[in-house]
């Protein structure tokens, strides 16, 4: 939607290239821009997922609800009157009826995959809206800021839900947020072409003179440059 608005508004495109060819098909510059924006985002999402999976299977930390995943028979053993109470148990034998998938999943507590992907997508999208949305006026700016706050709140809610559902400890969610944000910053700084938007090209702002609207900063800059 944002890119369609930019095209319809004829916003100068700092990351647009010339029309290229893919085999015998001519690739429009607009599609090249979309590819330049989507490819780094998808790459960063894959990296975030990869690092999350490495942490999960490399550490093998138990989830807070691992006893439930192990099987309810365990509670019967703990609460039995003929068993010693208040005893630290260093190992637990899950029932043979417990599915293998449950046994594996209960050791995937570090780090939170929901938190890492939510933080990555939120960070990238918030920066994308800040840089690429060609809106003008205080009302439009406030709406953009509201959308950004909603994105942050949604990602925060996802992380909190993983704690309240006893799927992760709070530190697993916190480190998941940190992982997602770090990958997003890396992609935005080193891979995303959006940094060209921040290098001096900004959304158009109407210029008003004595006779009304006289164009945008881009047209004014072009006129000044042509007279030099």
Q: Please state, as a whole number, how many other Cβ atoms lie within 10 Å of the Cβ of residue 39.
A: 13
Q: Does residue 209 lie in a domain region?
A: no
User: Which ranges of 60-137 would DSSP assign to H, the alpha helix?
Assistant: 66-70, 73-79, 100-105, 113-132
Q: Which stretches in the chain have pLDDT values below 70?
A: 1-24, 27, 72-87, 89, 134-135, 196-228
Q: H or E segment at 142?
A: helix 138-164
Residue 155 lies in a domain: yes
Q: Are 221 and 39 in contact (CB under 8 A)?
A: no
Whole-model pTM over 0.85 = no
Q: Which member of 61, 63, 69, 114 is catalytic?
A: 114
Active-site residue flag, 168? yes
Inside any domain, residue 27: yes
3-state secondary structure 143-210: HHHHHHHHHHHHHHHHHHHHHHCCCCCHHHHHHHHHHHHHHHHHHHHHHCHHHHHHHCCCCCCCCEEC
The answer for residues whose C-beta is within 8 angstroms of residue 48's C-beta and 6 or more apart is 116, 117, 120, 179, 180, 183
Number of domains making up the chain: 2
What would you report as the CA-atom Rg of the chain, rounded to the nearest whole angstrom? 26
pLDDT, one tens digit per residue, over 130-154 is 888 766 777 878 888 999 999 999 9
Q: Are residues 147 and 160 in the same domain?
A: yes
**Which pLDDT does position 219 carry in this prediction?**
37
Judge if 78 and 181 occupy the same domain: no
Count of CB atoms within 10 A of residue 201's CB? Answer: 16
Same domain, 149 and 38: yes
Residue 72's CB is within 10 A of a number of other CB atoms, namely 9
Tell me what pLDDT residue 7 has.
64
Domain containing 175 equals 1-61+109-198
Residue 128 counted as domain residue? yes
Contact 144, 129 (CB under 8 A): yes
180: left (phi over 0), alpha (psi -120 to 50) or beta: alpha
Q: Which of 56, 61, 63, 168 is catalytic?
A: 168
32 is a domain residue:
yes
pLDDT attached to residue 72: 57
The 3-state DSSP class for residue 111 equals: coil
Looking at the fold, whether 70 and 53 belong to one and the same domain comes out as no
What is the predicted pLDDT for the residue at 138?
76
| 71 and 179 both lie in a single domain | no
223 within some domain: no
């Amino acid at each position: 939607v944002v890119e369609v608005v930019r095209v319809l508004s004829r916003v100068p495109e700092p990351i647009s290239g010339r029309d290229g060819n893919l085999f015998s098909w001519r690739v429009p510059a607009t599609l090249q821009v979309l590819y330049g924006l989507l490819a780094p985002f998808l790459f960063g999402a894959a990296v975030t997922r990869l690092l999350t999976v490495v942490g999960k299977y490399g550490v093998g930390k138990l989830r807070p609800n691992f006893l439930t995943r192990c099987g309810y028979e365990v509670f019967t053993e703990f609460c039995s009157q003929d068993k010693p109470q208040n005893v630290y148990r260093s190992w637990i034998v899950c029932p043979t009826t417990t599915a293998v998938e449950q046994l594996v999943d209960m050791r995937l507590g570090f780090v939170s995959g929901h938190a890492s992907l939510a933080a990555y997508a939120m960070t990238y999208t918030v920066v994308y809206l800040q840089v690429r949305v060609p809106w003008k006026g205080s009302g439009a700016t406030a709406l953009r800021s509201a959308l950004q706050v909603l994105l942050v709140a949604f990602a925060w809610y996802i992380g909190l839900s993983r704690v309240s559902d006893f799927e992760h400890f709070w530190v697993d969610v916190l480190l998941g947020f940190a992982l997602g944000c770090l990958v997003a910053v890396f992609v935005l700084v080193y891979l995303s072409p959006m940094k060209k938007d921040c290098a001096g090209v900004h959304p158009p702002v109407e210029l008003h003179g004595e006779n009304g609207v006289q164009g945008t900063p881009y047209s004014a800059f072009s006129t000044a440059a042509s007279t030099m």
